Chains A and B, each alone.
Chain A
Amino acid sequence: MLEVKNLGFSRGRNVLFEALNFSVVSNSAMRVTGSNGSGKTTLLRLLAGLSRPDQGMVYWGGESVIKNYSDFVKSINFIGHDDGLKKQLTAAENLKLMLPLLGVSPSNQEVDSALDAAGLEYVKNRPVMHMSAGQKRRVTLTRLDFMSHRALWILDEPFTSLDVAAISSLVEKLKNHIESGGLLVFTTHQSFDVIPQATSLVLD
């Protein structure tokens, strides 16, 4: 279970949020919404332990994530704004060299078929710099196929630049993850309820 107690963060004088409390349990999801600059990305980075809160603490399984960071970090799958794709490498190369860092070493075939399933069959062996924004996003999200062993998924604007087909396939993946005992925290500007069972947190 992910628990946030009395979380506060400010940038200089600008208080992004304070006294924030919430929890996310297994088999559930939380959607973070709010206007631009309201601190959605900052909140996700705090949850992933990439930044430190000014006040309060994030707990994972009852323990402070900062104290147990090396354990905690192996339970999360964080996808932020910056996708970490190398533009000179192909989609397949990027994935094959990125996944061992996350503790999985899939075979070339597995990576290829995951990319095919993501609709990247004809571009997977092209350098990422020749891809469109949506295609790059698809490459990044293909990672999710290999991340079922990591319970907590923290996704920052996963639906950005995706077309309708890709959005529905992503929603399917997210629902599967939640149903198989996972936790999901994501931000979105999507106006419709992509994942109806998700609780909502509004930052202002």
Chain B
Amino acid sequence: MFSAFLSVLRKELLLAFRQKTDVVTVLFFFLIVSSLFPLAVGPELSTLKIIGPGVIWVGALLCSLLALHRVFESDFSDGSLEHLVLSGEPLSILVIAKIAAHWLVTGLPVVIVAPLIGLQFGLPSTSLILLVGTLLLGTPVLSLIGSIGAALTLGVRGGAALTSILILPFYVPVLIFGAGAVVADLQGLSIDGHISVLLASLCISVALAPLAIASAIKIALE
């Protein structure tokens, strides 16, 4: 099982390495979206500080959406998904490998760049660290929940748009608590609650999303 998990992970990372433009596109999208806000809102530092965490979190969320359709789509059309099912290994474990790879190439770069964007909004260094922390907890949740939507819409025409509509409501709590933690900290409030909710949603989605995705894939292949 472990070697199957590793081979899926390696294959996904190698594919991402061969298609660097896909990764770069997502990153540039994030940079553009979050850099446009200061230009539009104006250079008032107190305003920027307040909207900063929210803008960065929305940018990360949109990036996650943008990259989602790639998680299973090509595997579905070229028959690789069948191979995963026919391998006899637990499909939910292999799905975790795919999503982990997906997060490493689309989620992690965003988390790494986020502090730079935060500087544009005049966020203090403690907020920048907290921002990275909440994104590290939150973006995997986005990938996991989003993959459920991607798996459910496999083979459906206009699947990408449908995925967004399906899963956006489930993204909202992560967004509220992720961005909320940074804002609360700026205002000197306690953030324990926010972090607990983020951690809880990460645990729940790691445990349950792969099972849901595995079922959705099996349905799509029938």
Contact = CB atoms under 8 A, between A and B. Distances in A.
Interface string B132-144: 0000000000000
A76 B79 CA distance: 16
Contact of A84 (B7, B10, B80, B94): B80
Contacts of A127: 18
Contacts of B78: 82-87
B58 interface: no
Interface residues of B, number: 27
B89 interface: yes
B84 interface: yes
Nearest to B80: A84
A148 B204 CA distance: 41
Chain B at the A interface: SS class? helix
Given A84-B79, A86-B78, A89-B14, A76 B7 contact: no
A100 B222 contact: no
Nearest to A93: B14
Nearest to A73: B88
A88 interface: yes
A102 B8 CA distance: 12
B87 interface: yes
A97 B14 contact: yes
Contacts of A80: 79, 82
Contacts of B77: 82
B79 A81 contact: yes
B50 to A, nearest CB: 44
A100 B7 contact: yes
Contacts of B89: 101
A74 to B, nearest CB: 4
Contacts of B3: 100, 105
Contacts of B8: 97, 101
Interface string B12-43: 00110011000000000000000000000000
A176 interface: no
A84 B83 contact: yes
Interface string A20-42: 00000000000000000000000
B79 A82 contact: yes
Given A70-B88, A78-B86, A83 B79 contact: yes
B88 A50 contact: no
Interface string B84-97: 11111100001000
A85 B7 CA distance: 14
Contacts of A100: 3-4, 6-7
Given A83-B79, A84-B79, A76 B86 contact: yes
B70 interface: no
Interface in A21-68: 48, 50-52
B19 A101 contact: no
A134 interface: no
Given A73-B86, A98-B83, A101-B8, A89 B18 contact: yes
A2 to B, nearest CB: 16
A101 B15 contact: no
Given A82-B82, A97-B10, 5 more contacts: A50-B86, A81-B79, A82-B77, A84-B83, A97-B7
- Top-9 shortest CB links A-B: A82-B79, A100-B7, A101-B87, A84-B79, A97-B11, A73-B88, A74-B88, A88-B18, A84-B80
13 contacts: A70-B88, A73-B88, A84-B79, A84-B80, A86-B80, A87-B78, A89-B15, A97-B8, A97-B11, A101-B4, A101-B87, A101-B89, A127-B18
